[in-house]
Amino acid sequence: MNYAASVEYLLSLLGAFSNSRFELHRMERLMVELGHPERSFRPIHIAGTNGKGSTAAMIAAALHAAGKTVGLNSSPHLMQLNERIRINSTDIGDDDFAAAVEEVRAANETISAREGLEMHPTFFESVTAAAFCAFRRAGVEWGVVEVGLGGRLDATNVLHPELTVITPIARDHERILGDGVRLIAREKAGIFKHGCRSVVADQSRGVLDEIRGRAEEWGIHLIESRQAWQSGNISSDEGFYRFEAIPGPQAAGGREPFPVELGLAGEHQVTNALTAITSLDVLGVETGAIRRGLADVSWPGRLERLAGKPEFLLDAAHNPAGATVLASFLREHCTGRTIHLIYGSSRDKPVAQIAQLLFPYADRIVLTASRVTRSISPDDLLKAVEHHHNDLTMEPTVEAALEWVERHADRRDLIVVSGSIFLVGEAKAALEQRVAVPVGQ
């Protein structure tokens, strides 16, 4: 199986098992068939609503800086499936990706032939299993694994982690995870396992109470990042933040305060960095490696600025919490500039609420849609958000939206692409052929 065939195979699974229940038994059976690749590395399991990808990338980058062989499994991808599997901060190569998928395909076919199609793993289960197989093939020491959806019943929850991390929790995917942040927090805390160490990011009171209760049930010593590490002397340069990391009462001990420069833009990354620092402190990673990892980390499509005339800002603000972060960034770092916003969303998102938060910071808005079937059409999007702005235009595709905005934008303006990660990925792919380069890198 070559790379093109492996991608075609995985994509053929999308929607093929739409009646499959959200549960773990298929993934557990697949791990047995594959010889338990999830046991071949030391797992760090990360759940949350916002910031889990950035936090996972920071932890992986610091472990790599410490000289470890590190795998990172994240989702979804921006442009190609390889992005879901990184080894030592680099997307897996095409041949290695295809080899891992071939392992999974053979196991899937064996399972379904023996036990029926109802046991055939889904797309996400298969990609996750391929990541674990790729980690095993590469001799990964530490595997940093981001939960796909929820936690308790997510396919990644076959892991028995050495460390679990829960990033900030907000309302999202409530149809599946439950109505309200406390029920969502309970699902996220489903990644807790007896004997593992656990770190939780700064949370609202109700969420923190729920997570504390779940940790007590599991007999887990919970380390709260706000009690372990604080930030001082915060400053920024074009949206990239630096601060002093100061140990608190729950820090592991033996460390002095140290300066941090973040390679990811946005003030919210300070919170994510403190969660990552707390996690790395628990793991005993030396301070120099932590500093290098946080400075060198990359996480495309999240407040990613591309220099040019006009300049582009790509950010997958797909829920209200993400829209709040982007709005804050525009308010604090982009004042005085004309802002053109290209926006599109999946159908299951609260687009009116997102528009209320985000649209006031744009001078002109182009509504569009990505190619994925989950996208809301520009016509339906307009009906939901038209009362939140008086300068709205519709274009059928991301490429058409980019062309329209560039015809109307001045060289000094800022073009923001936001909404679903699929939309941002298509925009990034379209822009990659140009000479734009990431700001600050």
Q: Note the pLDDT of residue 441.
A: 46
Q: Note the pLDDT of residue 149.
A: 85
Between CA 124 and CA 103 the distance in angstroms is 15
- Residue positions counted in the chain: 441
Average pLDDT rounded to a whole number, residues 274-299: 97
Per DSSP, the three-state class of 414 is: strand
291 forms beta bridges with none
Between CA 339 and CA 359 the distance in angstroms is 10
Candidate from 146-150, 180-184, 219-223, 306-310 with smallest mean pLDDT: 180-184
Q: Note the pLDDT of residue 175.
A: 56
User: Residue 374 — pLDDT band, cuts 50, 70, 90?
Assistant: confident
Average pLDDT rounded to a whole number, residues 11-27: 79
Q: How far is CA 108 from CA 2, 15, 231, in A?
A: 18, 16, 47
- Give the whole-number percent of the chain exceeding pLDDT 90: 79
Q: Note the pLDDT of residue 183.
A: 85
Average pLDDT rounded to a whole number, residues 79-93: 95
Average pLDDT rounded to a whole number, residues 299-321: 91
Average pLDDT, the chain: 92
User: Residue 34 — pLDDT band, cuts 50, 70, 90?
Assistant: very high
Q: Which residues contact 300 (CB under 8 A, 6 or more apart)?
A: 78, 314, 428
pLDDT at residue 324 greater than cutoff 90? yes
Q: Note the pLDDT of residue 285.
A: 97
Q: Note the pLDDT of residue 253.
A: 82
Per DSSP, the three-state class of 116 is: coil
User: Residue 439 — pLDDT band, cuts 50, 70, 90?
Assistant: low
pLDDT at residue 141 greater than cutoff 50? yes
pLDDT at residue 14 greater than cutoff 90? no
Q: Note the pLDDT of residue 261.
A: 98
383 forms beta bridges with none
Between CA 310 and CA 252 the distance in angstroms is 46
Between CA 179 and CA 286 the distance in angstroms is 41
pLDDT at residue 150 greater than cutoff 60? yes
Show the tokens assigned to 285.
């990673």
Q: Are 234 and 324 in contact (CB under 8 A)?
A: no
Q: Which residue has the tokens 């729950």?
A: 250
pLDDT tens digits, 425-438: 999 999 987 655 55
Average pLDDT rounded to a whole number, residues 3-28: 85
User: Residue 170 — pLDDT band, cuts 50, 70, 90?
Assistant: confident
Residue type, 426: E
User: Residue 118 — pLDDT band, cuts 50, 70, 90?
Assistant: confident
Q: Which residue has the tokens 């009646």?
A: 19
Q: Which residue has the higher pLDDT, 370 or 171?
A: 370
Quote the Cα angle for 93-97-98, to 5°. Answer: 120
Residue 64's CB: how many other CB atoms inside 10 A? 25
Q: Note the pLDDT of residue 178.
A: 52
pLDDT at residue 247 greater than cutoff 70? yes
Average pLDDT rounded to a whole number, residues 182-186: 87
Average pLDDT rounded to a whole number, residues 15-22: 66
Average pLDDT rounded to a whole number, residues 179-196: 86
Q: Note the pLDDT of residue 179.
A: 59
